[in-house]
Structure formats: C-alpha cells, structure tokens
A and B are shown apart, each in its own frame.
Chain A
Amino acid sequence: MTQAAAGAPWTLEGYEAVIGLEVHAELLTRAKVFCGCSAAFGGEPNTNVCPVCLGMPGVLPVLNRRVVEFAIRAGLATNCTIAPRSRFARKNYFYPDLPKGYQISMYEAPLCTGGWLEIVVDGVPRRVGLTRIHIEEDTGKNIHDLVAGGSLVDFNRSGVPLLEIVGEPDIRSPAEAGAYLRALRSVLQYLEICDGNMEEGSFRCDANVSVRPVGSSILGTKVEIKNMNSFRHVERALAWELRRQVRTLQAGERLVQETRLWDAEREETRAMRSKEHAHDYRYFPEPDLLPLEVSQAWIEEVRASLPELPGARRRRFEGEYGLSAYDADVLTQRKDVADFFEAGVAAGAQAKEMANWVTTEILRIVREQRLDTQLVIRDWPITPAQVAALARLVDGGQITRNTAKQLLPRLIGTDDDPARIVEREGLGQVSDRGALQQAVHEVIRQAPEQVAQFRAGKERVLGFLVGQVMKATGGKANPQLVQELLRAALSPERKG
C-alpha cells in the first residue's frame, strides 16, 4: 500500500478511493418525533411506548416541532438550503422492529439540501459536500438472545427522531472519512442536538465505497458497508474494503454492487445475503402528515440562535491565541473543552500554557473519567481557574512543571487554590543556591562512576545526575539551576 504522506489521498496500484458517508444521528429531543413518548436512551424495554409508536390500528403521527427546529439547526450549521416546503414519505418494508410496516422518512422533498462540511486532515482544511439532511423515525430493537426459541422486540427506540445526513462521494481516504465523521459529530454536539455516541448507536454510519483509476471521473461499482460501530472501525473497514476492491479488479474479476457488513472481530467486510437488502421500498408521500412548511422567519430565528461553530472557533483560536492548527483543532472539537480553555485564559493563564494543560492533562482526565460520554460536561472535576492558577505558577517559575503535574490530581473534586497549597506545603521551586549546593555535592559523592564518565566527556550522564538531585529535593529544585551548579561543580577548573 502506498499510503503516502499524511493527508494525501489514498491510492493503491493506480487506483483511488471514492467514499460517501451516510450518517444517522439520533436527536436529543425530550419526546419522540411523532408522539409524546420519552425519547430517552435505555429504560426497561417497552416502557417508553404508546399506541402511536407501537403502530396500533388507527393511530396517526403528529410531528414534534422541536425535531424540525433541530433539523434546521443542523442544516444551517452545514451550509444547507432549508426547503420552505418539504414532505414526509413512507418507506415500506417488513421487519419486526418496524411496527407500522413502514418508516416515516423523507424522500423526494427533503428538508435540507446542498450543504458542505469543512474537515481538517493533518492541518489541511477541505470541504466535503452534503447532499441532503432529512428527518425520519428510528425503529425498535430486535433482541435475539434473551429467550430460547424466539426473539423479542423493544420499542423504546421506535419513533426516536433521527437525522439522516447524506454526504457527497467527496471523500478520498479512510483518514478523511474519520475526519469527516469527527467534524460532523463535533458540529452536532456544538448544536446540542445529538450526543454523538457511536457505541450506543446515537451516531451511526454507513459508507458507500468504490475505487477507480487515479484521474478518472467515472464512478466504479459501489459497495455499501454497514455495521461500523466506532470511528476506528470505519477507518479500518474502509481500508480493508478498498484493498479488497483493488485486488478484485486486479485479479480481472468484476465487483458486485452489494451491501457488506464489517466484522470487527475478524477485521473484514462480508457480503450480506442478497435477500436481506433486495428491497423495493415503495416510497410514497405520507398521507397522514401535511407538507412541512418552514417560514423564512423561523429559519432566521434558528440561525440567530446558533453558537459559534467548531470551524470558526478553530480559526479564531489560531488567530487570536496564536495556537498551532493542531492544538486549535484538538481544543475546538468539543465545545465544552474549548470553553474550558477560554475560561482558563480569561482567568489569567497564558494561552499556549493553558492549551498545553488542556490538550494533555485535562483531555486525559476527560477520557479516564469517561466525561466525553456526556453531551456537555457541566460538572468539571477541576475548574478552569484552578488549571489557570497552576499554569501561572509554572509560568512564573514558582513551581516546577513536575510539581504542578503532581498537584493536579489533588485538586480534583476540591475547590482548593493551588497557590495556597504550594505556600502551605512549601512546594515552591527551590532556587536557593546554598540549599541546592549541598544536594549537588551529596550526589557527586554518591555517584563516582557517573561523575567519572561525565568527566571523560559523556555529556548525557548529566541528565542522570540532574535527575538524582531532583529526586533528592522532592522534585522541587529548579532544574536549570541544578544543571548550572552540577556543571560548575564538575568543571575541570574546580577539579581537586
């Protein structure tokens, strides 16, 4: 594989990749899309249900206005045109988790069309087109392994609102696919309309993949890949599938248009039995719902309520704080993290120092405590002001970076001021020559071997000796000063 420089398009044996992604995002409205049931995830099976979402005889859907508002938000944030008049349609197929025998979706007249999303791969921004965004209802869930000799269905999810976000086949590598998904999830999270949790299924992705000779404008045979449950799976599945397609073509065989499932354990895609996807969905306009009319005034009202979006914020961070493209990107992927960073800067931390703290220590805490499963982290275990105080102490030379890192875990869950702790426990950086001199001499006395090596010209041994002094002073010593004192103590002039 000639996976060339990072960020470059994927190519293999003269073929390039053509990838289009379809994302289903569950919306965080309180109620379902066509009835008043709770749309909350989890819950005892079949507790968030009513005659409407169970598809009882005679029931009718009533559109939840909030769902439309969320869809408009998503459309505006991805530069789509919002149709003043759109229409729901029925997608007909039989499956036990689909109570009415059809899914209410949109087909010929979707709500949002023709947008784009900016992605950044290795610091290089690029636009991926969006074909459309439309509203539809989620299905229930079949449960096959709970009772012997039968299956059960949980309809809690039936009727939970979904956005189907269809991307143009503009993606040229698995890495770009990952970047696209991260960017899209980031936008939806900024809008607070989807929690973006792939494992819980609130953010699902199918991919349409084909290959073609580099430079060709003709599309190859398209294969749809399903069942990818994490960003990592998407990238691995795409890489695997692209290789399979190129090898198939090179072997002189033809590709079949089909749906394949990603098997995460065996790390391969496998063809679904053709029967499982040979559907004629018989779409037709949903007669139980009126055409959806969206006024320009409503669109403008929603537009005015949009937050600063990740792309704009990333550019502002680069310009306003002088951050690297990489740092700005990492900091702005989550709105709450970007807010944390800015709150720290507002509390007096120097921007680059604060960026370091957030991208390393804070994001580590976020991962370890699984805070990223929340849509918006509201209860931070440590406040931006505390981190800013640490950053200022390091910046001002009052404590070493080491001391600061050791202090951080002690601040978690407290409202302690790090400056107070430093003062109270005497953790301040020791820059007193007299006090350090003693420790330097002690180390030199105890490590004659290393001293001899250094004197013989092995410069690297100095690091070891500095480390020993730091250890002896409980990490509080000013490392620059220690080095200076060691060099002075070991210099040939002072020899003897």
Chain B
Amino acid sequence: MSPDEPQNPEVTAALAAIDAAIAGEPTDPDHAEVAEIALLVAAERPAPAPEFAAGLDGRVERRFGRASRDVAPAPSERRSRGGWWWILAPLAGVAVGLIALIALAPGGGSQSSSSSATFALKPRASAPRSALRSPAHAGAQSVAPPRAGALSVAPPHPASRSEAPTAAGPGLQLPATGRKLIQSSQLSLGAPSSRIDTVAQEVFNVVGAQNGFVNSSTVTATGGTGGYARFQLTMPSATLPQTMTELSRLRYATVLSRTDKVEDVTGQLARAKRRHQKARVRALERGVAYSQIAVTIAPYAPGPAHGHHAHGGGFTIGRAARIALQVLTVIGGILLIAMAVLVPAALVGLAGGRTAGAVRHRRRERALDIA
C-alpha cells in the first residue's frame, strides 16, 4: 500500500489506539498490544540532564546574548537574518557606482562637451546704442562690410596658441608687454529656434556698442525648429575682452564653444618695416588694431541647467514643473538602469538560493538514509 493511499480501517483503529494510549485514555482491547508497545516506546523518552536544562534556561533568559556574539552564524543564518540583501546590497552598490561612472565620465553625458554653456547668461539691463540694425527677421540677408579691406583671420602661426573653448567670462587678458599681437576669436552660441533672430539682433547691438564692424552676416529665422545665424565681426582689439564678455552673456543664448587665438607679429612687423613693405606693415598694424570674431548661432534646446540660466533665472511654476519632470525622468532612468542590473541579479540569486536549498535538503535526507 502506498503511504498516500487512504488508510484501511485496521490501520486507522490501530493509530487511534496508539493515540489513546499515549494520552492515557482507554484503548480498544483488540489493539491492546499495539497500545502497550506505544507506551513502552514512549517510556523510552530521553530526558535532558538537569544541568543542561538549567544552563539552557539561563541562556534563553539572557536571550543568547553572549553566544550570539561569540558564535559566528552560519551563512544560511546570515541570509535568514538579512534576507537576500547581503547579496543584493553589494550588487546594488556596484550598479549605482557604474551608473554614476557612466553619468560623470567625460564624454559620457550629452552636455559634457559644452560645459562653458553653464555659465550664467545674465540679461542685459538695456540694449546698447546700436549703429547697425538687424535685417528683416525672415529670410536670409547679408550685410556688406562697412569698410573695404577688412582683415581676415590669419592662418595659424607657429607662435599662435589656441585657448580651450570653455571660458565664458572675459576674453583673454593679455599682459601689456608692448608686443604686437593679432587676436581672433570664434564663438559658437546656442539659442532656442524661436530666439535666433533676437540673439542676432543682440549681436548687432554689442558690435555697435563696442564700435566694431560687421564684415558679413547671415541670419536665417524660420520661426520653426530651424534657424541659423553667422557673423564675421571686426572689433577694436582694445574692446575685444569686453565684446567677448557681452557676446557670451547674451540673453537667450548659451555658449557652446569658444576659441581665442593670439598671434605675435612683432617680428614680422619689424621685418616689414625694415624692408619698407608698406602694404604689409599696414596690414599687420590693422590686424593688431582690430580683432576678428566669428560668431555662429545655432538652434539649441537647453537642458535643465542651461535652461534655467538661459531664460533669465526667474522662478515660474512652469519652469519648476519642467525641471521637476526632467529630474523625475533622470531618476526614472537611473532606476530603470538599476533594475536592469538588479532584477537579473536577483533572479540569478534566487535561483541559486533555491538550488542551494534543494541540494542542502537532499544532503540532509541522504544523511538520514546513511545513518
């Protein structure tokens, strides 16, 4: 008979007699012998030694305090105390570390190459006097250079140096050493598509305020997602730092990149003078007196940090909501990545734990069979 099959009445009656005998109740005379065996077996019950019982009572009274500290728990007990977090916690730490590494690594973030754009772009209190007005806002239009013979940007000279496009503050502050220097700069600005023409107008305003010239300009304002502007400016070298500062702080614009170049032409100028190369001397002197600035304005969707500055810095509910949404999006992304790491790890850990438990159970049962 299989153990799981229903018991026959004889077995049921014998079991009832056993239970009755153990409980000290009268038993069926037909099963008296079985009941006697049950009593004899029960009488063989080992009893703990009084010393051991007293010692264990004391340990329980002390809540196993000393023993718990002295005896290191088995791994299975550590798991039972802290669940599976002793496995998952290090994995979670590694996952968070990886996420932080990816987020903070140079080039890893989408905004890392334009750190200069995070500089504050404070709105100007008032527009400066403008000598040049912007062209019509729609379509492309070129403004002819007001003076013929404007200097072009000199090709890189062995003695020239380039500055990293990170500074959004004042331009190069060169020491007054009496050297003859030709300076040029390239400034790449980003602005919302709808603000391209506004920013272009501000460029014109700055040029006018600093007594500079617009050699050429192209402003394309589509009113939609497109739009682009490009300027070639000639500015008095003395005003170059101030001009660059103001161009870097245009309202609605974000500095994406900036390059400053300086070429020392002291030797070239001296040689040209010695050789009486008047045209060359004039060209060099003009290059020293006026600096070239190339400005481009491209559509740019500011991120949370940029947007805050680029829109004037005032607090609005809408802006706060946008920032909150972006923060939540980032948090959600991080959680998603963390889940992508932790869920498979947890599943593997769970499967491993169950397998280990099954193996442990089998070994225990086998120990019983061997014994």
Q: Do A and B bind each other?
A: no
Q: List residues of chain B with CB under 8 Å of any chain A CB.
A: none
